[in-house]
Amino acid sequence: MATTIDDQAGRCFVLKPNIGVYWRTTVWVFVALSVACLGIALVFAAAGFWPILPFAGLEVIALGAALYVSARRGRYREVVRIDASAVTIEKGFKVPERRWTFERAWSEVCLRDPVHRWYPTQLTIRSGNAEIELGAFLTDQERASLAAELTRCIGPMGRGGVDGNK
């Protein structure tokens, strides 16, 4: 999912995966499934099938790990800021962990067709020898729409203005 923010300094595109998982909901689901799983395991253990307890514990740990990874992926962000002279790309979970800055006049938006028809397209911003992929988690249609918007802002060799009308 891509969100566009316009202000006096330029444009800002915020890209994030379309994962509608909230942390509080994830914790409630984990607790409910853990109680059910361990409750059933305790009933079987009381009936004499005690070896089921370690496997139930492993199942709860695996479920917790999977839910944590899923919720963490939902917090991933890619931010593209375009102003009069620079294109800044930030990637990270919650806060920017990596940052690249390119001169806008020498930046180019590339949307590559897939090598095979079942592969996704690839959207990159390139400047000189550096090339950064954007929106790997987006659908092909979202990537194409984002590429068109970025091209209007950046343009080949900086031909367009920040607002896309120059």
Give pTM, 2 decimals: 0.71
SS3 84: coil
Strands 76-82 and 130-134: unpaired
Which fold would CATH assign to domain 2-19+75-158? PH-domain like (2.30.29)
Where are the chain's structural domains? 2-19+75-158, 23-73
Question: Which helix (DSSP H) or strand (DSSP E) does residue 123 occupy?
Answer: strand 122-127
Q: How far apart are CA 94 and CA 3, in angstroms?
A: 16
The average pLDDT across 30-56 equals 94
| Cβ–Cβ < 8 Å for 13, 149 | yes
- Banded model confidence at residue 37, pLDDT cuts 50, 70, 90: very high
Q: What is the pLDDT of residue 49?
A: 92
